[in-house]
């Protein structure tokens, strides 16, 4: 009997090792499951959300407070991750540098998912499909229903916001023609359109729909037909896998329960008539 003790001891160790290994595999699988509703553990750090607050109805200021669809998303994501929400107002041009420098944890500011941006940051799953649309004066609407080709005539003055996908799109299309006017903020472009300093403002669909409704009495109207199709998501550092997992889980939950569609159409009433029919 004494001669068999080493064998029994080794056998016991092997059994323990197999149990630990199998348990580890089960935990690993549960962490990568898209259907898992278990939020990642909070380590006490706040969820620092970068918002530019210049693109209503997605993110903007009302009575001095930052509000909009992205803010509602931010509160929801903070809740499912168990982290205290900290909204940090960041200029649009500084959003990615702030994220990479660790000053924010996530960009929630109606950012289009592009290959260029994917080279430096990760993106959540898209939560909405958008695109570029034109905002024009009501009297000129009939001149802009053919899409991007309506921007080409030399007499048409085109406005965009610096650093946006609309800015890049128009620059490539016009190839340096001296009729593009670049603004630092969307409201400045809208003001220029009202003042007839430009003829068309090319910007993302949700925002131009909002500006069209807000300035209807000033003679502005959006062109309903988009010139491009884009996906909108949240920017996250490429090494922050846990937050990326949590963000995708949150978006997935909103889609499954129908909350996402409800939120989108509540903040952007015309949205259902464009892509989400």
Do the domain assignments include residue 268? yes
H or E element at residue 112? strand 106-112
Report whether 62 contacts 103 (CB < 8 A): no
Q: How far is CA 53 from the centre of its chain?
A: 13
Q: Are residues 81 and 214 in the same domain?
A: no
Give the CATH number for residue 240. 3.40.190.10
Q: Is residue 97 part of a domain?
A: yes
Token pair in block for residue 207:
């925002």
**pLDDT recorded at residue 179:** 81
Q: What is the mean pLDDT of residues 157-185?
A: 88
Is residue 21 domain-resident? no
Dump pLDDT digits (tens) for 103-147.
999 999 999 999 999 999 999 999 998 899 999 999 999 999 888
C-alpha of 58 from chain center: 9
pLDDT at 276 over 80: no
Burial label for 88, CB within 10 Å (0-12, 13-18, 19+), is: middle
Query: What does the pLDDT average to over 260-266?
Result: 91
Answer whether residue 4 is part of any domain: no
95-104: average pLDDT = 98
Question: Does residue 253 sit in the same domain as residue 125?
Answer: yes
Higher pLDDT, 126 or 44: 126
The span from the CA of 142 to the CA of 137, in Å, is 10
Q: Does 124 share its domain with 236? A: yes
Q: What torsion, rounded to 10 degrees, do the Cα atoms 258, 259, 262, 264 define?
A: -110
| Both structure tokens of 271 | 């949205």
Tell me which long-range contacts 185-190 makes (C-beta under 8 A, separation of at least 24).
185/54, 185/161, 186/54, 186/55, 186/161, 186/211, 187/54, 189/159, 189/160, 189/161, 190/135, 190/215, 190/220
Based on the domain organization, do 244 and 122 belong to the same domain? yes
Answer yes or no: do 73 and 190 share one domain: no
Same-domain pairing of 211 and 173: yes
Residue 119 within a domain:
yes
Whether 118 and 137 map to the same domain: the answer is no
97 and 215 part of one domain: no
Are residues 120 and 249 located together in one domain of the fold?
Answer: yes
Question: What is the torsion angle, in degrees rounded to the nearest 10, for the CA atoms of residue 76, residue 77, residue 80 and residue 85?
Answer: -90
Please say which residue of 182, 203, 222 terminates a domain. Answer: 222
- C-alpha distances in Å from residue 87, one per residue of 65, 84, 249, 264, 269: 11, 10, 21, 21, 26
Q: How many domains does the chain have?
A: 2
Q: Distance (Å, rounded) from C-alpha 60 to C-alpha 53? A: 4
Same domain assignment for residues 74 and 94: yes
pTM (two decimals): 0.73
CA distance 272 to 212: 17
Hey, CA dihedral for 82, 85, 91, 97, is it positive or negative?
Answer: negative
Same domain, 103 and 148: no
Structural domain for 96, as ranges: 47-129+231-273
Is there a domain that residue 153 lies in?
yes
* 27 burial via Cβ count (<10 Å: 0-12, 13-18, 19+): exposed
Residue 215, in any domain of the structure = yes
| 113 located within any domain | yes
DSSP state of 273: G
Are residues 109 and 137 both part of a single domain?
no
Number of H helices, E strands in the chain: 9, 13
* % of the chain at pLDDT higher than 90: 66
pLDDT at residue 40 in the model = 52
């Amino acid at each position: 009997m004494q001669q068999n003790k080493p064998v029994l001891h080794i056998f016991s160790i092997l059994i323990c090792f197999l149990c630990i290994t199998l348990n580890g595999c089960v935990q690993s699988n549960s962490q990568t499951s898209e259907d898992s509703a278990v939020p990642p553990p909070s380590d006490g750090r706040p969820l620092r959300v970068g918002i530019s607050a210049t693109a209503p109805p997605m993110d903007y200021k009302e009575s001095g407070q930052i509000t909009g669809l992205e803010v509602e998303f931010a509160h929801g994501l903070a809740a499912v991750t168990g982290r205290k929400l900290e909204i940090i107002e960041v200029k649009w041009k500084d959003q990615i540098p702030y994220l990479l420098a660790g000053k924010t944890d996530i960009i929630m500011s109606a950012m289009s998912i592009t290959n260029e941006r994917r080279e430096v940051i990760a993106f959540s799953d898209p939560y909405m499909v958008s695109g570029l649309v034109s905002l024009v004066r009501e009297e000129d609407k009939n001149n802009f229903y053919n899409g991007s080709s309506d921007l080409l005539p030399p007499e048409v003055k085109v406005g965009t916001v610096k650093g946006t996908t609309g800015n890049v799109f128009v620059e490539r299309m016009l190839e340096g023609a001296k009729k593009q006017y670049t603004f630092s903020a969307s409201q400045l472009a809208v003001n220029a359109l009202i003042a007839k300093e430009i003829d068309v403002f090319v910007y993302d669909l949700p925002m131009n729909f909002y500006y069209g409704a807000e300035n209807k009495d000033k003679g502005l109207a959006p062109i309903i037909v988009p010139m491009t199709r884009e996906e909108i998501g949240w920017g996250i550092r490429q090494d922050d896998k846990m937050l990326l997992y949590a963000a995708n889980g949150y978006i997935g939950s909103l889609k499954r329960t129908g909350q996402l569609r409800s939120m989108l159409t509540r903040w952007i009433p015309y949205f259902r008539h464009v892509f989400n029919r």
